[in-house]
Structure 1
Amino acid sequence: MAALQKISQSYRLATTHSRRVSHDECGWMRQQLPEELGECYSERLTLDNDLVLLRSRYHATRNLIEETANPHNRPMLVITFGMQGDSGYKGVDGSAVAFRSGYTTITAFQQSQGERYYEAGATVSQLRLLIGESLLNTYIGEQRTDQLLGNGNVRQLAFKKTSAASASHVTALTRYLNQGATTKLDMHIHTLTVLSEQLKLLSPPAREKSLQISAVDIEKLDRARDIMVEHMDQPLTIPYLCAAVGLNEFKLKEGMRHRFQSTPHRMLHELRMRKAYTLLESGCQVAQAAYQVGYTFPNNFSAAFTRFFGKSPKSVFGKRR
């Protein structure tokens, strides 16, 4: 009841209501609500054809309901960083989106018509990135772009605490705005960096198909290990092992993790070090042991051995005599 009463007492600002519009030499367009409603304005800068930066600051003198509509009439991804205060949006289609200080809200839409809510006496400051379809296609491909943008209705894709990395770039952008920066370059760099982070969260790199290991594959993996044991004095490479046992690189690497809880490189290194230890214990000279486990230069072998066992080859030499 209290919430309904608060809304009923709010001032409703229609999309047709007069707003003072101004432009500056840097390309910013500023829209300001009438002064009697408080200090309420938004600033907009087009960085690229499909990349827009928008900053808003509202400190309303009364509860305010502002009708909004998407002026682009094309699919958009909107990333909103809440810097101060909370506000909300309710669409005519029943959608509802919250914006909160310290949180990042990501929405997608083509046609949005609804209302934004601001509480009297509270300061609400937000920074938004508006990204169009063609730019998204460039960065993440048409298929993933279509999945994110959906059917055109308002969709909330994420609502999470703003990361420290994004917060630092948002702070830098705000600083440039406050200083009235005359160049877009630094702002463009910070904007694209933030966009990159958010797109990675929304569109992680495609993963390989889940590994299916057959009995034949297991035999091939065991054979690859046997080759390492039998020919560790040779400069074994992953392409050679793949060709020798008939597995592709992905299946060899993932198969090793599945079967031996190791990687080809790590397994070969461990086999070489343990073989060298046995050779040294039996009285083999350091240089001879190095050559027998695939090292051309004894100094490189000594360094690798010391890192692996925490002691030098000379300290092991001849201990089993």
Structure 2
Amino acid sequence: MSVLKRISQSYRVASTHSRLVSTQACGWMRQQLPEELGECYSERLSFDDDLMVVRSRYRPTRNLIEETVNPHNRHMLVITFGMQGDSGYKGADGAAVSFKAGFTTITSFQLSLGERCYEAGATVSQLRLLIGESMLNKYIGEQRTRQLLGNGNVRQLAFQKTTAASASHASALTHYLNQGVIGRLEMHIHTLSLLSEQLNLLSADTRPESLQFSANDIEKLDRARDIMIEQMDQPLTVTYLCAAVGLNEFKLKEGLHYRFNSTPHRMLHEIRMSKAYTLLESGCQVAQAAYQVGYKFPNNFSAAFTRFFGRPPKSVFGKRR
């Protein structure tokens, strides 16, 4: 059951409700609801008028409905990465959108008068990219931009599991914010990387028919990704994946590129690095994390981790076991 259906009696926060506004590290602008409503805030960083990243974290003390109004008054594409918890959006026009941890939701709108719904005591953390029309025109052309943005009403364009690559970039952006690191260039790179992957995934449906895969093929490709996640501690090979899911090597490689804009080696590496980061944050020792993601030798793991994240694994501090 979605949050939209579970919430009945709720405290309502109007769009004009007083919010504490402050400036954080790297130019992040923070808006926070009164403390008596719980830990409820959002932080926004603008790279320019048409590219913004927003991190929000809500843990209300009561069921909460927050009225929202689009402050930009122009067409926008919004890519939301669910980091923790679930929430929902109800539009004044009847549109309903759900946001879920581990999933990426893509919407477009111009006028977005509506309500965001949060459950009491539940933590909801999300990372959003807001992309304006002129930037989309620049990257994907005017015709494709018009197709995505539509007539201005709220439209849900995609809802799918967050890829390992996106999870890694989103974690890196969250790290910079949590640590107060002055790394605007790095954050911009991670933001554009997230945008690039999601636009590629959106455009997959418009590729020539000759490159399309059957529903059965898609299930096999998803299973190949799941095997990488479930067995990342094993010495996985392309040959093994092909045999496990019933695809030949050519179709597996082409399919992973079509479905996830990745290769078998890159996808497995991103999955391992993302899991390793999570393990280290939770307090796992470097050698333990290395073993759990398929590295026999901690030194090799440390070198790979440093190349991937630009920082050594020992710099990721968590609650030590």
Q: TM-score, normalized by length of structure 1?
A: 0.62
Distance in 1, matches of 2:65 and 2:164, equals 32
Distance in 1, matches of 2:170 and 2:74, equals 26
Tell me the CA shift for residue 100 of structure 1.
Answer: 0.2
Letter in 2 for 1:54: V
Distance in 1, matches of 2:151 and 2:55, equals 27
Tell me the CA shift for residue 169 of structure 1.
Answer: 0.6
Aligned partner of residue 203 in structure 1, secondary structure: helix
- Matched positions, count: 209
Question: Which residue of 1 is the match for residue 315 of structure 2?
Answer: none
Question: Which residue of 1 is the match for residue 119 of structure 2?
Answer: 119
Question: Which residue of 2 is the match for residue 28 of structure 1?
Answer: 28
Verify the 8 A CA contact 1:133 1:145 in the aligned structure 2. Answer: yes
Q: Residues 160 and 8 from structure 1, CA distance in 2 versus in 1: closer, same or farther, beyond 3 angstroms?
A: closer
Distance in 2, matches of 1:152 and 1:173, equals 29
Distance in 2, matches of 1:111 and 1:70, equals 6
Verify the 8 A CA contact 1:13 1:65 in the aligned structure 2. Answer: yes
Letter in 1 for 2:123: T
Distance in 2, matches of 1:5 and 1:207, equals 37
Distance in 2, matches of 1:206 and 1:87, equals 30
Verify the 8 A CA contact 1:28 1:44 in the aligned structure 2. Answer: yes
Verify the 8 A CA contact 1:44 1:52 in the aligned structure 2. Answer: yes
Question: 1:198 and 2:237 equivalent?
Answer: no
Aligned partner of residue 26 in structure 2, secondary structure: coil
Alignment of 1:300-315 (within 5 A): none
Tell me the CA shift for residue 25 of structure 1.
Answer: 5.3
Question: 1:65 and 2:33 equivalent?
Answer: no
Tell me the CA shift for residue 203 of structure 1.
Answer: 1.6
Question: 1:45 and 2:42 equivalent?
Answer: no
Q: State the identity %.
A: 76
Question: Which residue of 2 is the match for residue 170 of structure 1?
Answer: 170
User: Which structure 2 residue ranges, 5 or more long, are not aligned?
Assistant: 211-321
Alignment of 1:272-287 (within 5 A): none
Distance in 2, matches of 1:117 and 1:208, equals 40
User: Which structure 1 residue ranges, 5 or more long, are not aligned?
Assistant: 211-321
Question: Which residue of 1 is the match for residue 103 of structure 2?
Answer: 103
Letter in 2 for 1:115: E
Letter in 2 for 1:133: E
Aligned partner of residue 204 in structure 2, secondary structure: coil
Letter in 1 for 2:9: Q
Q: Residues 147 and 121 from structure 1, CA distance in 2 versus in 1: closer, same or farther, beyond 3 angstroms?
A: same
Verify the 8 A CA contact 1:104 1:158 in the aligned structure 2. Answer: yes
Question: Which residue of 2 is the match for residue 10 of structure 1?
Answer: 10
Q: CA offsets per residue over residues 11-69 of structure 1, 9 Å max, x none?
A: 00000110111113521110000000000000000012310000000000000000001
Question: Which residue of 2 is the match for residue 304 of structure 1?
Answer: none
Tell me the CA shift for residue 8 of structure 1.
Answer: 4.6
Letter in 2 for 1:195: L
Letter in 2 for 1:147: Q
Verify the 8 A CA contact 2:52 2:131 in the aligned structure 1. Answer: yes
Tell me the CA shift for residue 9 of structure 1.
Answer: 2.1
Aligned partner of residue 26 in structure 1, secondary structure: helix
Distance in 2, matches of 1:119 and 1:7, equals 7
Q: Residues 108 and 172 from structure 1, CA distance in 2 versus in 1: closer, same or farther, beyond 3 angstroms?
A: same
Distance in 2, matches of 1:117 and 1:38, equals 14
Tell me the CA shift for residue 181 of structure 1.
Answer: 2.0
Question: Which residue of 2 is the match for residue 269 of structure 1?
Answer: none
Question: Which residue of 2 is the match for residue 158 of structure 1?
Answer: 158
Q: Residues 4 and 197 from structure 1, CA distance in 2 versus in 1: closer, same or farther, beyond 3 angstroms?
A: closer
Distance in 2, matches of 1:208 and 1:101, equals 32
Q: Residues 41 and 207 from structure 1, CA distance in 2 versus in 1: closer, same or farther, beyond 3 angstroms?
A: closer
Distance in 2, matches of 1:38 and 1:209, equals 51
RMSD: 2.1
Distance in 1, matches of 2:82 and 2:145, equals 24
Distance in 2, matches of 1:42 and 1:135, equals 23
Q: CA offsets per residue over residues 182-214 of structure 1, 9 Å max, x none?
A: 23100000110110000001123965687xxxx
Aligned partner of residue 70 in structure 1, secondary structure: coil
Aligned partner of residue 135 in structure 1, secondary structure: helix
Question: Which residue of 1 is the match for residue 79 of structure 2?
Answer: 79
Verify the 8 A CA contact 2:4 2:90 in the aligned structure 1. Answer: no
Distance in 2, matches of 1:167 and 1:5, equals 28
